[in-house]
Amino acid sequence: MRTTVDADPYAWPYDGVIDPEHTALICIDWQTDFCGPGGYVDTMGYDLELTRAGLEPTAKVLAAVRSAGWTVIHTREGHRPDLSDCPPNKLWRSKNIGAGIGDAGPCGRILVRGEPGWEIVPEVAPIAGELVVDKPGKGAFYATDLDLLLRRGGITHLVFTGITTDVCVHTTMREANDKGYECLLLTDCTGATDVGNYQAALKMVTMQGGVFGAIAPSSALLAAIGE
């Protein structure tokens, strides 16, 4: 079924109906370091229930769009083992709050590529054929080949899940909007370490007629694609 999503502040997409051939689901940083025991967020002392809240809805969306033949792309934030790609200010901030990037933790070295904490959690792990983009920053377009992969695949429309809503998801959505992609954020498929920040991040998307795109619960997307 090809139709639109009942989204806020407009029916998504703005330019017609959902086209699986030109639409991708982007799953941002569903890593142990951000939503698993002993990871980066847990070490900082935040409530994991807030970042894990979107896992179950995201798993349902993943199953639906895989069945519908969508492109699915996963991202992972992490740094080289020698931290040569970690800016000094980012490293300083992490150490200043007691969760230093590269420091040893229960899930290996924090936010380092190849460590257990860097891996995507099993509930929403990639399957064969799905792309994984490794990024050193918050935005998934920064210092990666994501834009190239999307354009080579003919993708023009992006649906976002992931964590955290106010940081990596928002940064990537803003980048995508500037590059001309039509964006939808699934509200129950994201989460943040602070409820107020989560709510503010959602509101920001809807301002000015949808300054970065639109938002909707996953149920609205599933209804639109006949699931």
pLDDT tens digits, one per residue of 133-142 = 999 999 999 9
What is the distance of C-alpha 103 from the center of its chain? Answer: 24
Reported as a pLDDT band with limits 50, 70 and 90, residue 2 is low
The yes-or-no verdict on residue 126 having pLDDT over 70 is: yes
Angstrom distance (rounded) from CA 35 to CA 56:
13
Q: Is 168 a catalytic residue?
A: yes
Exactly one of 135, 138, 183, 189 is catalytic; which is it?
Answer: 135
Averaged over 11-38, what is the pLDDT? Answer: 97
**For the chain, what percent of residues have pLDDT higher than 90?**
98
At 160, the amino acid letter reads F
Q: Is 203 a catalytic residue?
A: no
Cβ contacts of 169 within 8 Å, gap of 6 or more:
28, 160, 161, 162, 163, 185, 190, 201
Averaged over 201-214, what is the pLDDT? Answer: 98
Q: What pLDDT is stored for residue 227 in this prediction?
A: 79
Averaged over 137-156, what is the pLDDT? Answer: 98
Q: pLDDT tens for residues 67-104?
A: 999 999 999 999 999 999 999 999 999 999 999 999 99
Q: pLDDT tens for residues 168-196?
A: 999 999 999 999 999 999 999 999 999 99
Exactly one of 27, 86, 107, 168 is catalytic; which is it?
Answer: 168
The yes-or-no verdict on residue 50 having pLDDT over 70 is: yes
The yes-or-no verdict on residue 224 having pLDDT over 90 is: yes
Q: What pLDDT is stored for residue 114 in this prediction?
A: 98
Q: pLDDT tens for residues 53-68?
A: 999 999 999 999 999 9
Exactly one of 29, 33, 42, 166 is catalytic; which is it?
Answer: 29
